Chain A
Amino acid sequence: NAGVTQTPKFQVLKTGQSMTLQCAQDMNHNSMYWYRQDPGMGLRLIYYSASEGTTDKGEVPNGYNVSRLNKREFSLRLESAAPSQTSVYFCASSELAGPGSFIYEQYFGPGTRLTVT
């Protein structure tokens, strides 16, 4: 039982390049999340998926797209990377989420450290 896995662990991009961050969970959770964390800051929610087939914007969605490929996988895409997107990206999953729902505890992956030059 690996929990939440993320690939790659590290990535360096040039401005304007695109890439996809991958996330998978093996806990049969319905909900998945993408966060970014900048130095000295807390986590900020980029996008989340309350259940398979749905996605919603978080606090800082601009410059990102997501795909909930199936129940296990939730990917984050940067179409045209910018230096402002240099950050550590965390994926998380939980049992339930969404308006009116009790949010169970979230389980986080180890993070992807992205540098855009």
Chain B
Amino acid sequence: DAKTTQPPSMDCAEGRAANLPCNHSTISGNEYVYWYRQIHSQGPQYIIHGLKNNETNEMASLIITEDRKSSTLILPHATLRDTAVYYCIVRDDKIIFGKGTRLHILP
């Protein structure tokens, strides 16, 4: 079973920040949080990962709460090309994908 809970869908206006939440209340101390996205009909694409500290790269920022029970992926300036399903994954022995959040960017 996926160890994360995400809303099934979200909308965001183009040019605004998209904030995608994820709950992972059963995460253990050495498990990482990963984010991937899947644009229609393509293979999933790695976005970012983190353990305790907030992380930023050229694609997104990852904010992890101090208790590590939840996290938020931030796309700072969403564009239409960011329309995709976003998966939050807590590392187990194997990466298990849940159903993710379908993000719609509104023009």
Contact = CB atoms under 8 A, between A and B. Distances in A.
B interface SS class = loop
A16 interface: no
Contacts of B36: 106
Contacts of B94: 33, 45, 48, 58, 97, 103
B43 A42 contact: no
Interface in B1-32: 2, 32
B50 interface: no
A44 interface: yes
A90 B44 contact: yes
Interface in A82-100: 90, 92, 97-99
Contacts of B42: 110-111
A104 to B, nearest CB: 9
Interface residues of B, number: 21
Interface string A25-60: 000000001010000111111001000000000110
A42 B87 contact: yes
Contact of B44 (A41, A43, A58): A43
B43 A44 contact: no
B95 A111 contact: no
Given A92-B43, A108-B44, A42 B100 contact: yes
B96 A59 contact: yes
Contacts of A107: 46
A79 interface: no
21 contacts: A4-B43, A33-B95, A41-B99, A42-B2, A42-B87, A42-B99, A48-B94, A90-B43, A92-B43, A99-B93, A103-B32, A103-B91, A103-B94, A103-B95, A105-B34, A106-B36, A106-B44, A110-B42, A110-B43, A111-B41, A111-B43
Given A33-B95, A106-B44, A109-B43, 6 more contacts: A40-B99, A44-B97, A99-B93, A102-B32, A102-B91, A103-B94
